[in-house]
Structure 1
Amino acid sequence: MAALAAAPTTAAGSKAEATLLRFALKQDAVGSGANGLVFLAVAAIFGSMFGLPAALLVPAGVFLVAFAASLLRLAARPVVNRAAVVAVMVVNVAWVIASVETLIAGWFPLTGLGTAYVIVQAVVVAGFTGLQFAGLRRA
């Protein structure tokens, strides 16, 4: 019984209930971090392939790497802070809105591949956000 009492809990619920939330945060971190590292490593190549300026991809890459590190730290904490998760979800929703606006407003001369990339990454980010929301509700 002492082992049960010692099991860590989170602000979002018991350890078992927080599994989906932690999974969603970690997946978001992996996706964001991978994108960020690729942006930083090959911004000029990506820029020409997708029709996005390297001057946008480099700061976006820095942001994404820092965001990914924050997500990993949040997911690893013994107490998952609900307010922090909501903030992550707000950032993700803002990213999706900015992606849609990029397509609608035509801010950049996106190639066909660039248009597909913006759509796919927006759908993936929306999916991460949905998983995070489900994880919060479940907890």
Structure 2
Amino acid sequence: MIKRSGTRGAANNDALLRFALKLDGTVSGLVAALSLLGARALDPLLGLPSWLHWAQGGFLAVYAAGLWYAGTRPAVIRWIAAGAVVLNAIWAVGCIAIIAAGPAWFPITVLGDAYVGLIGLAVMVFGAMQYAGLGRAR
């Protein structure tokens, strides 16, 4: 049998990257909505100030849209995917810093530590999936 190269092979090679971008975009969009709509309610529960939720929500809304855009084009926009890997790594370091600094930065609660820790873990997983997907899609 003759193996043909073409768009079908390329689509198979970038399936992980597309999935990772869309998953990250979906979760980021949900966290953006939660942060923007629930900032005042989350403040006492998590011990993180409302301005931080609003800043996070605004950033994540734009970020989520960019990820969906990059992941749904006929050819994945690789520079956006590579940028997502870097931003996810920076975001994870920021989550670790917030937890480590604790009350020196914010009066973070136990629930707040869990929330920030879960977000940090999620962005590490998304970044690793995107990195692996970029390697496969070459």
Q: TM-score, normalised by structure 1?
A: 0.89
Other-structure match for 2:91 = 95
Indicate if the aligned counterparts of 1:74 and 1:81 stay in contact, CA closer than 8 A.
yes
**Greater shift in the superposed pair: 103-112 or 48-57:** 103-112
Other-structure match for 1:31 = 27
Instruction: Report how many residues are paired.
Output: 132
Q: TM-score, normalised by structure 2?
A: 0.90
Matched, 1:132 2:130: yes
Distance, in Å, in 1 between the alignment partners of 2:134 and 2:51 is 36
2:136 alignment partner AA: R
Distance, in Å, in 2 between the alignment partners of 1:68 and 1:33 is 5
The answer for unaligned runs of 5 or more in structure 1 is none
Within a 5 Å distance, the mapping from 1:106-121 to structure 2 comes to: 106=102, 107-121=105-119
Structure 1 residue ranges (4+ consecutive) displaced by more than 4 angstroms after TM superposition: none
In the TM superposition, residue 123 of structure 1 has moved relative to its aligned partner by 0.3
Indicate if the aligned counterparts of 2:66 and 2:80 stay in contact, CA closer than 8 A.
no
After superposition, the CA RMSD in angstroms is 1.6
**40, 48, 52: which one aligns with 1:52:** 48
Distance, in Å, in 1 between the alignment partners of 2:7 and 2:48 is 45
Distance, in Å, in 2 between the alignment partners of 1:124 and 1:76 is 21
Distance, in Å, in 1 between the alignment partners of 2:135 and 2:63 is 23
Query: Higher helix proportion, which one?
Result: 2
In the TM superposition, residue 58 of structure 1 has moved relative to its aligned partner by 0.7
**94, 117, 120: which one aligns with 1:122:** 120
